Structure 1
Amino acid sequence: MQIKSILAASVAFGALSTGAGAQTTTAAIAADGDTDAIIVTGSRIRQDPLAQSSPVIVVDQTSIARTGISSIADILQRLPSAAGGLNTRVNNSGNIGNPPDGGGVGAGSANIDLRYLGAKRTLVLVDGIRFVSGTSASGIPATVDLNTIPANMIERIEVLQSGQSPLYGSDAIAGVVNIITRENQEGLQLSGQFGTYRQGDGHTQDYQASYGIKGPTTSVVFGASYVKQESVRTADRSTSQFPNPGQTSCGDPIGGCSSAIPNGRFTVLGLPNLTLKAPVPGRPRFDAANPTGPNSDFRAFTTGDSFNFAPLNYFLTPSERYGGWISAKQELSESVNFRVKALYNRRNSQNQAAFLPLFVGPDAGNGNLLDTISIDATNPFNPFGVTLSAGKPGEAPANYSTVRRRLNEAGQRTYTQQVDTMSLTGGFDGSFDVGGRKWYWDANAVIGFNNARQLFTGNVNAAKLAQALGPVSLCTGECVPFNIFGGLGSVTPAMLSFVGFDERSRSSQELQDYTANLSGDLFDLPAGAVGFAVGYEHRYQKGTYDPDPIIVAGLGSDIPSQPSRGAYNSDEVYGELRVPLLADKPFFQLLEIDGAVRHANYSTSGSSTTYTGSGQWKPVDDLLLRASYATGFRAPSIGELFGAASRSDAPIDDPCTNVAGSPWQTSAAVRTNCIANGVPANGSYQEPNGGQVSVTTGGNTALRPEKSRTWLFGGVYSPVWARESGFASVLSLEANYYDINVTGAIAPIDAAITLQRCAFGGEALSCSAISRTPNGLITRVNGLLQNIGEVRTKGIDVMFNYRSRATSAGAFGLSVNGNFLLKYTESTPSQNGFTVTDYRGKTRGFPDQSYPKFKGIAIVDWQIADFGAAFTGRYIDAVFEADGKKLKGTFYGDVQLSYNPSFLDKRMAFTVGVNNVFNQNPPPCFSCTGPNYDPTTYDVPGQFGYLRISYKM
């Protein structure tokens, strides 16, 4: 009980909690039951929460309120040990493709990624029990959407920053996030918050209400919440006016703008690349003898004609979340309780992309009917006087490459999601005595459902487009001949009505989880009781994804996709033992060891057994040292196993393109290898798609579980003298070193690596994964999932927590939380062994993720009488892009002031704050898929101010 910092310092969530927050959390834990015998994340054995052996950070309601943020995921992503993850700054619901794990992606959903190992390797629990995974309407995710859990239902969040598969099962490789919900409340609690960016956008409303009733044997708490977040558009920020940072026009040599333009780009073989001189609503004039002459409506296409899509996206996606929840406890006897929890949450969200880029022709690279469309000579808008043949069987040889037309008339592409989440948990728990020893038991069942529907507007039916571009004699009935040549404004509503369609897709997930646990003391040793825990879990998970039937038929003009569905069940047993060896001896105030083992059998991937062992030693009351070793596993998810083939468009430069400064021009070996891979030897190939490469993704039923091993060494120093002397009410310093190795990691080989290996090394395995058209354009890079190799990461977490005693000048606090990333590498197989890629101090680019060598967060706070003030500082170290460009170190500052008047019996509180008070822009990034920055690591540009009023009855 001497080293309160084990919890207090851990609660010092850098800028998100203080000593006061730590005391509040400790009290909340103690109120839940016997302070010396409760369950704390990281062990199944009841223990003193102030002397646990695992590095656990606790975030309570006070800490959450201090951020002014309305998303729990955004708060947790501020942890220095967190690597970001999906959040509402990610403007993607499939418009740039689906991730290779078959999980899809939905704007408005959010998750947590610890240690840069991916959100799927961080286990999320609710009250120690699994929660239904999210849905995206574009796949079957393997992660929990944290935005489905109402914020005012949360009592606290315990973040175990260490792998613990032996206790919690699959997915707990990087750590465990355990969301503890409210069980006790008396009376009414209300809060309302409004926030906005200084630019006048991104308005956020957050309203929370809950009411609790507590009787002699019954307690009931129920609540409701409503959160509405409006968009921040890229058009309204200076950093995102063009596809690349600092760009001022599409004619800049850096490129990046799209070759699909409103006036059309026409690549007819034997002719220069053409575009219209000006929009021509009817049939343009074409001079075969002089295609760009005065008698022609065409001229040569230049990069300056490219389309600037950058201002037509979101920095912050609009979303709306509302729902209700209830938690009830009934004491059936002095030793048996019945508990039930239920929640419902609705999320309405949207992301947006530029007008549809319509690519037609044999080099279009769609992989469907659009690549084989011939534009008939009888089409009334065809100015060339001949059929533009795609060269399919039975037709004349191909005489055109592509027609690219930005379909502005159809409006911007929007992806609107409606997601319903329902969860019902019920269980019994109690205790009994055997031989004078108390044993604790519980049995629980949870049933969860997640259903998502997505409406995509702005798509085109390829079959109808083929009919509308084909022989006019076959364009009958509702068919309207399509004018792909006439430039902006030439596509009429009647044309759009025939070829366009609203794409509707669905996905769902179901969870059934049944658990039983038993814990107690076996016998006494001189140093204390030997603790024991054992348990069983049976889980069933099911997921489905059903794209629009037109997409399934391969007739869409956007990202193709196929339906997928799958299910699995698992049976798991575990045991844990804690043995105190010495206590209250010189140099051994405490010495104990504990261990756990778990055996899991999956219907899809077989059996896995994991184990862990740890020890803690207190040479003196002020110092605790600990060490642990754990093995872990992650079974392949439903999406990874059963996800159907789909496509993502990666922002990667093809090394075989013949442009100034490219490897094609500077290396004879690259030219030789590219020609062998299907690039024309005459150097005519130039990558047309703005640096986007189509990557084929999909599941693999032959996948095996990932394995991991984790070393952890740490210590906590909390001097008694500081408290006894009055210097501090809390003073502690904690440091933990971790080393995690994941083998058999499930991932595709990075498409950029595949292209590099083929172009620079001529590696046959990589070259065989690349498909090209006769003109050299990439139609596909095979990126199917494999157990590709290993991921290795090492680092040090440090935490410092100080809080003064109350004086006439008030109470002061300082909390610091930092992470030093010592290593992060990924190994992938190659023809000659393995290729090791070092990401430490770098940004990946695609998918967005940065790996700074240091991240830190700190808070200075002051409390006097009814007033409080706090300043939060967050620092992200510099990182480098693959080509050496630097993303400078970034410092964010947040300020909050609060007033809790005594004359109102402290029932009301008024809070005002500004996040990013120094108006810091994110560092510009050229390779990121976000709007010139990494949205998983940095904030939306602009100052965000908010005002909150809360009331307690």
Structure 2
Amino acid sequence: MSYRHRVAAHGLRLTLLSFACASLASPAWCEEDPSATPQKVEVTGSRIKRIDAEGASPVQVLNRVDIERSGATTTAEFLSSLSSATGGLSDLGGNGSFAPGASAPSLRNLGKQSTLVLLNSRRIAAYPLADYSEVFSNIDTLPLEAIDRIEILKSGGSALYGSDAVAGVINIITRSNYQGLQLNASAEQSLQNGKFQAQTAALTGGIGSLDGDGYSVLANLEVYHRASFFWSDVIGDSNPAYAAFSPSFGTPSTFSYPGNVIGVGPVQGCQNVTDGLCLYDRYQRFEVVPATDRTNLLVSGRMRLADSLTGFSEVLLSHIESIYQSAYQPYGQALGPTIWGDPLTGGLKFFDPRGLPVGHPLNPTDEEVEFRYRFVDGPPVERTTTDQYRVLAGLQGMWDSYDWELAGGVMGGRTRDRQRGGFSDSGFKQVIGDYTATTLPPDFFNKPDGYRIGQPNSAAVLDTLFPTYGYTGTIVQAFVDGKITGDIARWDSGNVGLATGFDLRHEQARITPSQSLATGDIVGNGLSSSDASRSYEAVFAELSLPLMKTLEAQVAGRLDHFPGFPTHFSPKVGLRYQPVPELLLRGTYEGGFRAPNLNESAKSTKFSFEPGVDDPKRCPQAVALSTDLRAQAEALPKGDPGKSLLLARADSVAQNECGANISGSSLNNPNLKPETSRAFTLGIGLQPAARWNATVDYWNIHRRNEIGLRGTSDLLAVEDSLPAGTLTRGTLADDPTFTAAEQAQYGVKVGPLQSVRAMFQNLFQTKTAGVDLSVKGEVPTTVGPVSIDIDATYLLSYRAWSNARNGFGDNMVGRYGMPRWNVNLTGGLQTGDFRQAVRFVWSGATSLQGDFDDTTWSSAGCDENGIAAKDCRMKAYQRWDYSLSYSGIQDLVLGLHLNNVFNQRPPVDLRAFGFDGIIPPSAEDVQGRLLKLTLQYKFS
């Protein structure tokens, strides 16, 4: 980051300004006349306008050049590439989520609810659907081409910005005072398989100049499209390590169409019969990337109303439609019972797949026989449509020597999520039969007007069996805010600056499930519903105190009042010491908080369905049994009927226990307290030479009273110490996976998992610390200046609270999901009309183990499960990108970006893949090189 020092030394200011323009400053700064009086600007982390861009708080500033060099197509993609970004939510994984069709960033491994997103220094509306209980801002609504720069406050910001700013603040600043008309277009595609296709077009136009014409208007319209495809198109490109680890990888499924009558044979009409079984290519309906269409419109304007009075307005409109396609519904006794919550009674519901009854045309035996089927005429599609908006207007002016601003507006949105593909419990009984009967009637799966196996079925039957269900979410927030800032005193060491203001808000949020979800009629589906509102208010103040000419203090505080909680005070103290122009020392201390959201504290209903749970008391035994069954099948000659029975059973045994489906219910808690935090930073900034700057900032965050539910994996690790009713298991007598003899042989001592029940509580704490490193500079060469940009985060510690230990867990650094290093290194070169950049992305290696209670993926656990030490960890991630642009044609700029130049695979992740994995855990595994072509045309 560049430093804007006071202009006592004019030559020093010229040096710094030239570096800022070359590396990170906004276009408005770069176009400034060096001989003019320097303008004060407001930088995220302080409400007081100042000449110095570097204040007491560490702020990372990223401009249009940084965005273009990254090759990012969307705002979410760009933010996820930063070294401080960790996890977050992506619309790519929306299928099965409570908040499909949205993306949200996360900083410092502290989650999307602790990362505050601002647009032009004001909040944006929350996404209408909560991600189960988490409320967040959807950054897919923010058009990338409209962004002028992004400022990231990495020290927390509750003292100035209020709730949710525990991990930091991302302030997205859009263009202003733009004149002309410009078209931007891009298209990308994988060079490895022709997939991963996305296209973007954006039109940006501006008229007027506030200084010259007294008004300015900017409009940006961005359209984005992403195509869908399935794993069957690319499974051959996957890492061979996954196939070597899992016996199920790449294999077809015995849950097929027109089906298998186990012990009898495949149903007539099957197109793929192997070893006496009808097989189905499961990969043809496993989606890699969902289809998405987005249209975002941003219009902003400013008008001078008087010499010291300016009016401004802003309109943000967004329409997003995402389509998620899922695997066709499988059916069969080997899948085991499905358990889910009954919202009407609060109890459990069970769907137990049955076989074909005696007397059924496909059952020639005198007993019920196992039947495996796949409903390929079921329509497993989820369509999510979201409309969001933010409309505001305000006034800016001068009163005496003070700048003031007053604004008001409304923002919100509506999301309509509709899907099909899940069984209706009542519909199943109507068109197929009552599976709860002790003895199945002969017309089970053979009703005169019901569902017909392997035959065309009417729309009426399919609508009864697979009804449409989903959610409608709405959120509305009205606000009025204001602030005033200026110098209130003059000391010998400088001016004392003051900023103070207020924020008044009222929000209403409602999530309404369809009737079938509200009554628990959709087999295996969870429920999230809420209807609540609240008003809250805040006041803040900030002082800039020049203690000496070289030492400045920042003191800030904010009072937030939310209904049901005591007024919360968030303090901040910062120091900035600059003994010489080339050296800056700084530090901050700040208290932060997050108020419980309406889904956590207000009346709501939540039932979840958690798939893919590894049961530590049954999964290893199931893997061993599955392996033995396959070995027995291989020993039998081809055509032996016992071979198909063994393979069919092996296909489902491990999936039942290493990917168990668990029902969960969560209760809201009106007695929740706000989450609180304290954070401090210590940093140093250096300018060792002209056009070279470096900053090193240590950060430390301790978050308390964290609101949450104890995770299923954590509960399983301490199952024996839990209160009765927290975890529910079936009995060994009704074990769907192991026979009594197998229970004894493999040491199975508990029944299958069924459900988890919990209430939101202030349960946890998190401590994390690390160091951020930023280096920016420029080296002159004979072919042109070469710019260097290093953005790195070194994680020192991350510890989560454990109720089982009644203390903090292990330091997670170097463990799963917590690499010690995240590094982005970018080098740029401009020669004439050509601009080139090379980008290196690197993350350190980690083990596969989680916290201390993760015995499955510890070194001993891997050894016990037959996983080699080299496979019990993830290697370091690394990727090289290259970009090139050409501006030698008037009004036209052409560019390309090559992502993953050397076609390197991401490291193998066996933990995410699972013991009996079927698809790679990351789509990047099959993406390969990705080529993006861009065009920019300025209309004369």
Q: Same fold (TM over 0.5)?
A: yes
Which of these residues, 790, 805, 809, is aligned with residue 783 of structure 2? Answer: 809
Aligned to 1:912: 896
Q: Contact conserved, 2:260 with 2:266, CA < 8 A, in 1?
A: no
- 1:628: Cα distance to partner? 0.9
Counterpart position of 1:213 = 207
**How much has 1:44 moved relative to structure 2?**
0.9
The offset of 1:655, in angstroms, is 2.2
Alpha-carbon shift at residue 747 of structure 1 (Å): 2.1
Matched residues in 1 for 2:289 and 2:311: separation?
A: 42
Secondary structure (helix, strand or coil) at the match of 2:195 reads coil
Task: Give, as a single letter, the amino acid of the residue that structure 1 aligns with 2:265.
Answer: K
Of the candidates 469, 473, 487, which is equivalent to residue 433 of structure 2? Answer: 469
Aligned to 1:83: 86
Please say if residues 234 and 315 of structure 1, whose CA atoms lie closer than 8 Å, have aligned partners that are also in contact: yes
Determine the structure 1 residue equivalent to 2:386. Answer: 419
Contact 2:878–2:906 at 8 Å: present in 1 too? no
SS across alignment from 2:106: coil
Q: Does 1:744 align with 2:718?
A: no
Q: Which residue of 1 aligns with 2:931?
A: 945
CA distance in structure 1 between the aligned counterparts of 2:486 and 2:925, rounded to whole angstroms? 47
1: CA distance, partners of 2:238 / 2:340: 28
- Determine the C-alpha separation between the residues in 1 that align with 2:458 and 2:548: 84
Q: Is the 8 A contact 1:91 1:315 kept in 2?
A: no
1:38-88 superposed Cα distances (whole Å, 9 cap, x missing partner): 211000111124332221111222222222322111101111011032224
TM-score (norm 1): 0.81
The residue that corresponds to 1:857 in the other structure is 824
Pick from 127, 140, 146 the counterpart of residue 153 of structure 1: 146
Q: Secondary structure at the match of 2:672?
A: coil
- The yes-or-no answer on 1:233 pairing with 2:230 is yes
The separation in 2 between residues aligned to 1:770 and 1:647, in whole angstroms, is 15
Post-superposition CA distance 1:257-285 (Å, at most 9, x none): 9886657689xxxxxxx565212579xxx
Assess if the C-alpha contact under 8 Å between 1:91 and 1:314 holds in 2.
no
In structure 2, what is the Cα distance between the partners aligned to 1:644 and 1:245? 42
Q: Residue 622 of structure 1 corresponds to which residue in structure 2? A: 582
1:64 aligns with 2:44: no
3-state SS of paired residue (1:754): helix
CA gap 1:688/1:625 in 2 versus in 1, 3 angstroms: same
CA distance in 1, matches of 2:125, 2:208: 29
Give, in angstroms, the shift of residue 627 of structure 1: 0.9
Matched, 1:446 2:409: yes
* Superposed counterparts of 1:58-207, under 5 Å: 58-88=61-91, 90-94=92-96, 98=97, 104-107=98-101, 109-136=102-129, 141-198=134-191, 199-207=193-201
Q: Which amino acid aligns with 2:158?
A: S
1:331 and 2:304 equivalent? yes
Tell me the SS of whatever aligns to 1:496: helix
Secondary structure of the residue aligned to 1:41 is: coil
| Equivalent residue, structure 1, for 2:351 | 371
> Are 1:772 and 2:730 an aligned pair?
yes
Which residue of 1 is the match for residue 613 of structure 2? 652
2:772 aligned with 1:797, yes or no? yes
Residues 285-434 of structure 1: pairs in structure 2 closer than 5 A = 309=282, 312-358=285-331, 363-367=337-341, 371=351, 380=360, 383=363, 405-411=373-379, 413-433=380-400
Deviation per CA, 1:223-282: give whole Å up to 9, x if none. Answer: 21111111353233347869x952269755x9999886657689xxxxxxx565212579
Tell whether 2:521 aligns with 1:535: no
Q: Judge conservation of contact 2:623–2:653 (CA < 8 Å) in 1.
A: no
Name the CA distance, whole Å, in 1 between partners of 2:834 and 2:933: 15
1:862–1:28 distance in 2 versus 1, CA, 3 Å = closer
- Are the structure 2 counterparts of residues 915 and 474 from structure 1 closer, same or farther at C-alpha, using a change threshold of 3 Å? closer
CA shift, 1:423, in A, is: 1.2
**CA 1:494–1:217 in 2, change beyond 3 Å: closer, same or farther?**
closer
User: Partner amino acid for 2:875?
Assistant: K
- The aligned counterpart of 1:818 is 792
How far apart, in 1, do the equivalents of 2:724 and 2:898 lie? 50
Shift of 1:111: 1.4
8 Å contact from structure 1 (residues 259, 690) kept in 2: no
* Aligned 8 A contact 1:450 1:508 in 2: yes
Match of 1:787 among 750, 757, 762: 762
Give the secondary structure class of the aligned counterpart of 1:75: helix
What is the identity, as a one-letter code, of the residue corresponding to 1:823?
A: S
Q: 1:448 to 1:385 in 2, by over 3 A?
A: farther
Q: CA separation in 2, counterparts of 1:690 and 1:177?
A: 39
Q: Distance in 1 between matches of 2:578 and 2:279?
A: 67
Matched position secondary structure for 1:324: strand
**CA contact under 8 A between 2:356 and 2:362: conserved in structure 1?**
yes
Q: Does the C-alpha gap of structure 1 residues 439 and 403 become closer, same or farther in structure 2, counting only changes over 3 Å?
A: farther
CA distance in 2, matches of 1:538, 1:479: 63
Matches within 5 A, 1:684-699: 688=656, 690-699=658-667
Q: Is the CA contact (8 Å cut-off) linking 1:440 and 1:519 kept in structure 2? A: yes
Cα deviation per residue 1:860-898 (whole Å; 9 max; x = unaligned)?
A: 111122111111111111122122522111211111111
Are 2:813 and 1:840 aligned? yes
In the other structure, the counterpart of 1:293 is none
SS in 2 for 1:919: coil
Counterpart CA distance in 1 for 2:31 and 2:834 is: 26
- Where 2:232 maps in the other structure, the secondary structure is helix
Counterpart Cα distance in 2 of 1:67 and 1:262: 45
Quote the Cα distance in structure 2 between the aligned partners of 1:613 and 1:5: 22
Q: Does 1:577 align with 2:578?
A: no
Rounded Cα–Cα distance in structure 1 between residues aligned with 2:680 and 2:724 = 35
Alpha carbons of structure 1 residues 658 and 545: separation in structure 2 relative to 1, 3 Å: closer
Among all aligned residue pairs of Structure 1 and Structure 2, give the percentage whose two residues are the same amino acid: 22
**C-alpha spacing 1:910/1:558, structure 2 compared with 1 (3 Å):** same
In the alignment, structure 1 residue 460 sits paired with structure 2 residue 423: yes
Amino acid at match of 1:915: N
Gaps of 5+ in 2: 7-18, 343-348, 435-439, 627-651, 736-750, 850-856, 860-871
Letter in 2 for 1:826: A
Coordinate RMSD, CA, aligned? 3.8
| 2:633 aligned partner | none
CA distance in structure 1 between the partners assigned to 2:236 and 2:673 by the alignment: 43
Going from structure 1 to structure 2, the CA distance change for 1:821 and 1:546 (only over 3 Å counts) comes to same
Query: Offset of 1:373 from its aligned partner?
Result: 8.1
* Cα separation, 1, equivalents of 2:402 and 2:425: 66
Report the TM-score, using the length of structure 2 for normalisation: 0.82
Structure 1 residue 742: Cα displacement: 0.7
Describe the SS at the equivalent of 1:458: coil
**Partner residue of 1:101?**
none
Whether the 8 Å CA contact 1:897–1:912 is kept in 2: the answer is yes
Q: Distance in 1 between matches of 2:763 and 2:310?
A: 48
Provide closer, same or farther for how the CA distance between residues 307 and 607 of structure 1 changes in structure 2, counting only shifts above 3 A: farther
Q: Which residue of structure 2 aligns with residue 672 of structure 1? A: none
Determine the C-alpha separation between the residues in 2 that align with 1:5 and 1:406: 70
Amino acid at match of 1:453: R
Q: In 2, distance between residues paired with 1:137 and 1:379? A: 49
Residue 20 of structure 1: aligned partner = 22
Alpha-carbon contact 1:277-1:299 (below 8 Å) kept: no
Q: Matched residue of 2:511: which SS? A: strand
- Matches of 1:358 and 1:163 in 2, distance apart? 50
The higher relative CO (CA closer than 8 Å, separation ≥ 6) is in 1
Structure 1 residue runs of 5 or longer lacking an equivalent are 7-16, 99-103, 267-273, 283-297, 389-399, 584-589, 666-683, 724-729, 844-849
Contact persistence 1:279–1:489 (CA under 8 A): no
Instruction: Say if 1:222 and 1:327, in contact at 8 Å, map to a contact too.
Output: yes
Q: Answer with 33-42 or 794-803: which moved more.
A: 33-42
Which secondary structure does the structure 2 equivalent of 1:170 belong to? Answer: coil
Task: Look up the equivalent residue of 2:315 and give its one-letter code.
Answer: A
Task: In structure 1, give the amino acid aligned to 2:697.
Answer: N
Q: 2:243 aligns with which of 247, 250, 257?
A: 247
DSSP-derived class of the 1:556 partner: coil
Return the offset for 1:580. 0.6
Q: Which residue in the other structure is 1:393 paired with?
A: none
Within 1, Cα distance between the matches of 2:254 and 2:512?
A: 32
